[in-house]
Amino acid sequence: MKLYDVYPLLNVNIVRGEGCKVFDDKGTEYLDLYGGHAVISIGHSHKNYVDAITRQVTQLGFYSNSVVNDLQCQLAQRLGKVSGYDDYQLFLVNSGAEANENAMKLASFHTGRTRILVSQKAFHGRTSLAVEATDNPKIIAPVNANHHVTYLPLNDFSAWEEELAKGDVCACVLECIQGVGGIRLVEKDFAQRLSQACKEHGTILICDEIQCGYGRSGKFFAHQWLDIRPDLITVAKGIANGFPMSAVLISPLFTPVYGQLGTTFGGNHLACAAAIAVLDTIEQEHLVENAHCIGEYLLSRLKALQATQPHIVEVRGRGLMIGIELDIPQKAVRERLVYDEHCFVGSSGTTTLRLLPPLCISQSEADAFIEKLIKALS
């Protein structure tokens, strides 16, 4: 048997990581500005994380959600305190798509409606409804094309208001910083007007914080820059630093119903131990503040570079979620960064480099990336 060939792979076998660095099977060191696609929040192989998982697996790796799991309760209390949402409820699952799927399902149960509004260029996952809410027809199978979703221009409030007025919308789903869409930011005025309109029309507002949440933007949640308070918040990626986990934060508007939602592996003991260690480390090492500080520094250095580097068209982002728009294909630059400069970055579309480093990145590591980028572009 061989692997099903669906990923265009870089020819590098990463076997070890430490902080913001990873190492291949030949011992070559790489600077990681990709974070395993925004998953590595506190850094590779952090001692707190390793110790927590090791300790937990020697006690109990898994038991089902048919019994009390005190680690789930601890995580809910800690996450509520750190995020500012201690009056919300927590439903734990395994992946970002699963979190979004359950959030949209809750919205539909609550409103009795079937239609969802999302932004153009949105990416919300690859499961049944989440993939229909993803603006990419290439990955939507015929069985998923159920016409429940309407794609609208980002930040065009009049277009969203027109659809909301029809009275059949169960949810509006926003990535407050679009990731796959090329690091596009939701504008504050749009977000506040949409939030108010959702209240007026009895529509649920869902903020997809899968990629932009958990401190990456320089606040715990990216929507907190916009002064809105969504009804449902979905998180994944950075929540457990690489251990598969995700969650839905659910406002007091919703009343739990036995059997309405469910999961086998969601919120298992190992995942919760990992997630608690992540929150401990984020607080102890002030990583949200570091994301803001180093993010601002990186953005300023990249914008200064734009003035002297003809291939950089635009730099955009917030915190440690940054897009570098090029006038040449990003693939060639990304490959030069990997193979020649030993540095990992992400990408969006054909011309955007995407930076999603661990939140512990230092200023010296940011400087090292700038030097590597200059060489790769030249």
In this structure, the dihedral spanned by the alpha carbons of residues 116, 118, 124 and 129, taken in order and rounded to 10 degrees, is: 20
Q: Give the tens place of pLDDT for each residue, 69-123.
A: 999 999 999 999 999 999 999 999 999 999 999 999 999 999 999 999 999 999 9
Q: Give the tens place of pLDDT for each residue, 140-190.
A: 999 999 999 999 999 999 999 999 999 999 999 999 999 999 999 999 999
Q: Is the dihedral of CA 278, 280, 283, 285 positive or negative?
A: negative
In terms of Cα–Cα distance, which of 323, 345, 316, 317 is closest to 333? 345
Q: Give the tens place of pLDDT for each residue, 32-75.
A: 999 999 999 999 999 999 999 999 999 999 999 999 999 999 99
Which residues have C-beta within 8 Å of that of residue 365, sequence separation ≥ 6? Answer: 20, 31, 357
Q: Tally helices (H) and strands (E) across the chain.
A: 11, 17
Q: Is the pLDDT of residue 370 over 90?
A: yes
The radius of gyration computed from the CA coordinates of the chain, to the nearest angstrom, equals 20
Q: Are 69 and 269 in contact (CB under 8 A)?
A: yes
Which structure tokens are listed for 314? 């635009």
Q: Give the tens place of pLDDT for each residue, 275-289.
A: 999 999 999 999 999
Q: Is the pLDDT of residue 378 over 90?
A: no
Percent of the chain surpassing pLDDT 70: 100
In this structure, the dihedral spanned by the alpha carbons of residues 268, 106, 178 and 194, taken in order and rounded to 10 degrees, is: -150
